[in-house]
Chains A and B, each alone.
Chain A
Amino acid sequence: MKLGVVRETFEGERRVIATPEVVEKWVAAGHEVLVEQGAGDRCSASDAAYEAAGAKVVETATAWTEPELVLKVHAPNDTEIDRLPEGRALISLVYPAQNSELIRRLEAKRITSFALDCVPRITRAQPMDVLSSQTGIAGYRAVLNGAQHYGRYFKGQITAAGRTPPANVLIIGAGVAGLAAIATARDLGAQVKVFDVRPPVKEEVESLGATFLEIESEESGEGVGGYAKEMGKKSQDAQHELFRKEAANTDLVITTALIPGKPAPLLLPKEVVEALKPGSVIVDLAARAGGNCELTQPGEVVDHQGVTILGPTLIESELPRQASDFLGQNVTRFLTLLSPEGEMNVDLEDDIIRCMLITREGKTHWPPENIPQPDKPKSGTAAAAPVTVNEPEDSGVGKYMFAAAILGLTLLVGAKAPKDFIEHYTVFVLACVIGYNVVWGVTHSLHTPLMAVTNAISGIIVLGGILLALTTVSKAVLWLSLAAVLVASINVFGGFLVTHRMLKMFRSDKDRKGGKA
């Protein structure tokens, strides 16, 4: 297939949909690739590099008109759509919910279009999920930008010149961006607190070493597809209250709360901003969708009573090469799915293709039917696993019935058996209880040695053989018991010896160092 990589015209955009490394892969897969002049010059991918990778560098017009499939990052603007000949195909971000006019035009030009932002949230599709790969970068960069405007160290230090406490970072929204921000802030040495309306993410947050903030709320914020949903008024007030309290002790706030297809929720009203100490920084990653902070100016740096508010709208583009690399990888995976044999094959049976297809042959396919449910747990968190872990042999009823049976048996024994037997039975039951309690604590690594040692001591049956052999007069009994003594002794000696051998091997680091000294 003939593929076209075009230059981004969106203001401030430095990314490109495919870096030379990615183009090389496409060429190797048998595609012919045309790259618009200067497509990658803002992310250190020169035209020469593309040529070296096997692409043909062409004029703008050619890059749009020649290929069967044009790939780019941003949705095409009006000029760009005009360049695209009728009936061709396009892969880019589309945001169909917000861009009905664009869809209408794509439909009118009978263009087959796929939206990179409509990858379904299923495991198989993860490698193609540009939203994840790009927002991860946004989270990372948000911390760095925040740090740049923050006038102190992140890491707590005690130096000859005095002592400085660690910075306190509050991250709101623990999606991909939030999690990346947590990790970055932790790496810089900050103390991190995190709030998210979806309780299940608590475990992920804590696994990154951050503290999870909770409010008493009956409402879970988990919406369709693993994204957050809009919250009711009451929980919103509770959130604002929580943030206002936290503000007094916070140096950097990063907000990442987005609701698909809706304006960003208001998380930081003016009074919360004013509760922050002067010198604090807010990075509002939702600026493009209106902002999580009341005072955010998209694309601007605002100073409100000493608090700096950053509202970056194209933060992924600040790491242009990294972001482009990831985009390229994502798109390559999708291309492989879309054209397994080199030619485009729009297989509507495939969940991923069906979800991403926006228009085709003059018809709109969005929104798709049968949105697949996200796989849970996403990338495998055990807490959300739908399969419950049974407690084998331990259901309450069974346990009590077992206890009752034992008790009944014991009483029966008491009623019928002679005194001698009762004595033995007493010893037996007590020994069972002792054995039960003693062995429970055994560490897993010693199971085998424990088994070998119990094996050795169950060779105590040798005693039976000895006593019988020594007190008998009959030949048959003598030989039988001698045989018993023989096999039991193998057990006794073999068991203890092998245990000893095993235990000798178990050594800790400490033992080792002691041994060398």
Chain B
Amino acid sequence: MTEQMAHIVYLIAGVLFIFSLAGLAKQETARTGNFCGIIGMAIAILVAMAMASGLHSLVYAAIALGAVLGAIVASRVAMDKMPELVAILHSFVGLAAVLVGFAQFLKGDNSEGVEHLIHQIETYVAIAIGAITFTGSIIAWGKLSATLSGKALTLPGRNLINLGMLVALVYCGVNFCQADTQADQLQWLYWNTAVACVLGVHLIVAIGGADMPVVVSMLNSYSGWAAASAGFMLSNNLLIITGALVGSSGAILSYIMCRGMNRSFANVIFGGIASTGGGGGSGESKGVEDCQVVQAVQVADLLRQARKVAIVPGYGMAVARAQHGVSRLTQKLRDEDTEVYFGIHEVAGRLPGHMNVLLAEADVPYDIVLGREEINPDLAEMDVVLVIGANDIVNPDALENPESPIAGMPQVEVWQSKTVVVFKRGMATGYAGVANPLFFKENTRMCFGDASDVVEEVLGALD
């Protein structure tokens, strides 16, 4: 196969990837989109294999092994473990970028002058980004799978530390480009990798669990930039195109997540929410005795009388794996001609769109699952809103109290409805550590217990 031909096939693959992303924008076209991606990837790999005559068998073996491992992981993972899977997959791209970078460096190139310098910089940058993505994603995985604490670890002067490491990276880079022998250069490359790895860890460790949706999509973006920089290094347009697509897509997702929390990107990365433990709330400290506690039977009564019901799920639903019960409850209510809607906040859960995936898994039709902006205007008409394991996304203080640490964060305004029932394990605050006056509102009822158990009890009482 000629080189020109290969370029054309790469172009086709690139276009297929664009279709793939465009297809993923809508439910109706999403499956076609995924299919486009698969085709694009397949022809790209085949052409790459046809391009050179090396040890094909070894490469095929590596791909086959990767395919088997990938397939096992992907088919075994439970839907509520999706955030962890996505995070760990990001780390693989980062690792691959580092490995390719080192391989390319060791292979060496015979260009000279400016061109040589640029190639060196490209290699250096590809390895740095890859390493940050690699360790950052591993930390994110650890936090999401609760292997590591979800709390933000904030070292004193951590922004200075970050800056220092960035300077160190540049310093190593300059030395790397100026070093004479390959051995010296390799030395600096190791330093580069080490510093970038530490930077990746430090960046993500400092971000609290509630901000994980942003982190995951940010790392998604990084993995794209890592691929793109590898493309520069290898002079491969397809890698550049794909990397740039993924990079910008991840960046946009991060932006959307940040907007969902009314925070700037810089604020998420550099300044976590201060855990005030209820301070800055309504100024009154209230306890269980100030809210109206109900039992599952009473919730069932409320539901039986309701004509319109909205369900607002949060991370608590995922933790309790209550989505299947919620789905059956939905089915039951709909069978009795009650209108049921779901209201999903952008940052509910630990991954962008986390709730949607869980609900889809539990067979809830996607056309009754609405976004925050779609459902807010209709909430006043709802007879009952069930808040299942959500807290910081249904906090009226965010809109009413400028002192609140989450002031300005858009909310699912459940309190506008006639009755709100909050399913909750206890009176603890949410991830942001902020008190929630919703629980004490006149039209709010609290139903304590594990979300899954409570939903089952309500189902039982409805029979």
Contacts and interface: CB of A to CB of B under 8 A. Distances in A.
Interface of A: 123, 126-127, 207-208, 375-377, 379-382, 385-393, 416-418, 420-421, 424, 427-429, 431-436, 438-472, 474, 476-478, 480-512
A507 B73 contact: no
12 contacts: A382-B376, A382-B413, A416-B114, A434-B245, A435-B244, A456-B41, A457-B37, A459-B96, A464-B236, A497-B71, A506-B30, A509-B365
A474 B377 CA distance: 65
B246 interface: yes
Contacts of A509: 365, 367-368
Given A460-B238, A489-B70, A454 B54 contact: no
Interface string B249-269: 110110110110011111100
A434 B22 CA distance: 10
Contacts of B396: 380
B171 interface: no
Given A480-B106, A493-B71, A506-B27, 17 more contacts: A382-B376, A382-B413, A388-B408, A389-B408, A392-B258, A421-B232, A445-B360, A454-B220, A474-B107, A476-B106, A486-B66, A490-B66, A491-B70, A494-B74, A494-B89, A506-B360, A507-B360
Interface string B329-359: 0000000000000001010000111101100
A467 B416 CA distance: 60
Interface residues of B, number: 139
Given A469-B55, A484-B96, A485-B59, A462 B45 contact: yes
Given A466-B59, A472-B54, A494-B73, A438 B18 contact: yes
A316 B354 CA distance: 50
Contact residues of A: prevailing secondary structure: helix
A498 B85 contact: yes
A382 to B, nearest CB: 6
Nearest to A499: B34
A321 B4 CA distance: 88
Contacts of A445: 27, 344, 353, 356, 360, 366, 369, 371
Contact of A490 (B70, B97, B346, B401): B70
Contacts of B74: 493-495, 497-498, 501
B376 A431 contact: no
Given A389-B410, A417-B114, A445-B344, A459 B93 contact: yes
A381 B377 CA distance: 10
A477 B275 CA distance: 49
B208 interface: no
B376 to A, nearest CB: 7
Contacts of A496: 34, 37-38, 41
B103 A484 contact: yes
Contacts of A446: 24-27, 30, 353, 356
B49 interface: yes
A475 to B, nearest CB: 10
B255 A503 contact: no
Contact of B79 (A127, A457, A502, A507): A502
Contacts of B407: 387
A395 B53 CA distance: 54
Nearest to A475: B106
A461 B351 contact: no
Interface stretch (B142-150, B223-231, B383-391): B223-231
B365 A207 contact: no
B70 to A, nearest CB: 3
Contacts of A381: 416
Contact of A207 (B22, B37, B351, B380): B380
A346 B250 CA distance: 60
A494 B235 CA distance: 27
Given A389-B408, A492-B66, A451 B217 contact: yes
Interface of B: 14, 17-18, 20-22, 24-27, 30-31, 33-34, 37-38, 40-41, 44-45, 48-49, 51-56, 58-59, 62-63, 65-67, 69-71, 73-75, 77, 79, 82, 85-86, 89-90, 92-93, 95-97, 99-100, 102-104, 106-107, 114-115, 118, 216-217, 220, 223-224, 226-228, 230-250, 252-253, 255-256, 258-259, 262-267, 344, 346, 351-354, 356-357, 360-361, 363, 365-369, 371, 376-377, 380-381, 396, 398-402, 407-408, 410, 413, 415-416, 441-442
Given A207-B377, A420-B115, A448-B356, A512 B365 contact: yes
A126 B107 contact: no
A484 B20 contact: no
B415 A380 contact: yes
Contacts of A449: 24, 30, 34, 353, 357
B413 to A, nearest CB: 6
A353 to B, nearest CB: 16
B234 A467 contact: yes
A509 B381 CA distance: 23
Contacts of B86: 448, 451-452, 455
Contacts of A420: 115, 235
A160 to B, nearest CB: 29
B227 A392 contact: no
Contacts of A470: 48-49, 51-56, 59
A428 B232 contact: yes
A382 B45 CA distance: 53
B32 to A, nearest CB: 10
A428 B228 contact: yes
Contacts of B20: 453, 457
Contacts of A428: 228, 231-232, 240-241, 244
Nearest to B362: A505
Given A207-B377, A489-B67, A443 B106 contact: no
Contacts of A467: 48, 51-52, 234, 236
A495 B89 CA distance: 8
Nearest to A333: B442
Nearest to B14: A431
A385 B410 CA distance: 11
